[in-house]
Structure 1
Amino acid sequence: MPETTSTTPPAPVPGSAADVVRTWDARADHYLRLFRDELESKPFDLEALDAFAGRVVPGGRVYDAGCGPCGHVTQFLTDRGLDVLGIDLSPRCVALARRERPDCRFAVQDHRTLTEPLDGLVAYYSLHDQPRAGLPATLAAWATALRPGGQLLVVAKEGTHDGVIDDPLGSDLRVYWAEFTEYELRRAAGNASFRVDTCTVREAYENEIPTRRIYLAATRAA
């Protein structure tokens, strides 16, 4: 009998789409336990999301890009009369979001390869899984999907880190973690044909990772 050997598939490239699936499928349940109701204790975030919803055309089509397992941003925007789809690369995140928010819509999809024309897009802490070098291409993809006048809201953690670290959320995983500066976000948005309307930075709340947050609101130029 010939001797057989088993091989372990190589680990995905850190920060790649496959790596996002690997890490988020593994920690989606943990994240849901931590952040299921996080918006209730974040008045600044609620105001930013409400302002975004008010800028989108009534009933407009919106993607919650990187919705995660909670689906709370999708729910918030849906409750304000928008036609919202929460998308995430992680099948586990999407399955949990569907369970948590049965009256909302969710799908497994890469927010960097959008095809449907949109009136708005929210990226609520969904950029930190990919290398900072990919930011211009991501913003360009969103600009392609958004109609002229379409609204963008990006929420990201401020900083300069760009690489693999121990999971700040407390799982046992090593994960890709990227932070951004206000200048980087403004520049990438401007280069991608967005008009930056506001860009605000706030300090972390007491129960958050101690990193400042950036909130960039922009409009897709004609």
Structure 2
Amino acid sequence: MTDLDVDFLHAARTSYDAMAEAYTEEFADGLEHRHLDRALVTGFVDLVKERGGGEPVADIGSGPGYVTRRLDALGLSVFGVDVSPRMVALASRAHPHLRFHVGSMTGLDLPDRSLAGVLALFSVIHVPDTELPTVLREFRRVLVPGGHLLLAFQTGRGEELHVTERFGHEVSLRYWFRDPEVMAGLLGEAGFEVLARVVLAPEEGRRYPRAYLLAQVPGR
């Protein structure tokens, strides 16, 4: 059994495969009208550039690839990783100059200390509490000393939601909504230094605020 066969990853893979076309049409660019979110992503890019070193950045949970495309346009060497083969295929077709591959955030097929940055926007929301420390340690493993991590997730106090339908397709997706301070503590336990915590108010028609945590691996 591979990492991709683990129950929660299998569920995410089959669910996003099922709704990939509809999801990509709905979220062709999920940052287009989110000005503050874009500013935080740009700040992450600036920090990676300032450190130098030339190592690439991984967009984990890259989905349709619009974040990967934005990082590329801002001057980073970047590639996307997603659990859904269908999402990877659509992203590769939409952005043929960029690299996307199927992978699991619980076991990235990357060498130790090979990345200058990891960006995971709203992808750890499908990771259960029991597996989250493993994922954060894996992010820590692949980052160079001084490398940066930007996480985004919907906030809550441990709520869990199970969704069985999206865009007219049958799915089985679980969402975990976490307290930013709890997540910051887990980052510390994984070996990160948390540099910033930002919570953005819910958008119109949405229930949950969005949290961004910026962290760094100690050293240079």
When normalised by structure 1's length, the TM-score is 0.87
User: Matches of residues 1-222 of structure 1 in structure 2 within 5 Å?
Assistant: 14-15=7-8, 17-56=9-48, 57-58=51-52, 59-68=54-63, 70-114=64-108, 115-116=110-111, 117-159=114-156, 160-162=158-160, 164-167=162-165, 171-206=169-204, 209-222=206-219
Note the alpha carbon deviations across 1:197-216, whole angstroms, 9 max, x for none: 00110112226x32100000
CA distance in 2, matches of 1:25, 1:147: 32
Go from structure 1 to structure 2 and tell me whether the alpha carbon gap of 1:200 and 1:180 turns closer, same or farther (over 3 Å shift). Answer: same
The CA deviation at 1:101 is 1.4
Go from structure 1 to structure 2 and tell me whether the alpha carbon gap of 1:143 and 1:174 turns closer, same or farther (over 3 Å shift). Answer: same
Bigger drift between 87-96 and 131-140 goes to 131-140
The CA deviation at 1:171 is 4.2
Answer with 1 or 2: which has the greater Rg: 1
Sequence identity (%): 31
CA distance in 2, matches of 1:168, 1:180: 22
User: Where does the alignment leave 5 or more consecutive residues of structure 2 unmatched?
Assistant: none
CA contact (8 A) 1:132 1:179 kept: no
Go from structure 1 to structure 2 and tell me whether the alpha carbon gap of 1:63 and 1:109 turns closer, same or farther (over 3 Å shift). Answer: same
Aligned AA (2:132): L
Task: Indicate the SS of the match to 1:64.
Answer: strand
CA distance in 2, matches of 1:119, 1:92: 27
User: Where does the alignment leave 5 or more consecutive residues of structure 1 unmatched?
Assistant: 1-11
Which aligned runs of 4 or more in structure 1 are off by greater than 6 angstroms? Answer: none
Task: Indicate the SS of the match to 1:151.
Answer: strand
CA contact (8 A) 2:18 2:170 kept: no
Note the alpha carbon deviations across 1:28-62, whole angstroms, 9 max, x for none: 11111111022110001110110000000444410
Bigger drift between 164-173 and 154-163 goes to 164-173
When normalised by structure 2's length, the TM-score is 0.88
Task: Indicate the SS of the match to 2:126.
Answer: coil
Aligned AA (2:215): A
CA distance in 2, matches of 1:128, 1:168: 16
Q: How many residues align?
A: 208
Aligned AA (1:100): A
CA distance in 2, matches of 1:144, 1:76: 25
CA distance in 2, matches of 1:80, 1:219: 20
CA distance in 1, matches of 2:6, 2:104: 16
Go from structure 1 to structure 2 and tell me whether the alpha carbon gap of 1:200 and 1:95 turns closer, same or farther (over 3 Å shift). Answer: same
CA distance in 2, matches of 1:176, 1:132: 11
Task: Indicate the SS of the match to 1:103.
Answer: coil
Task: Indicate the SS of the match to 1:140.
Answer: helix
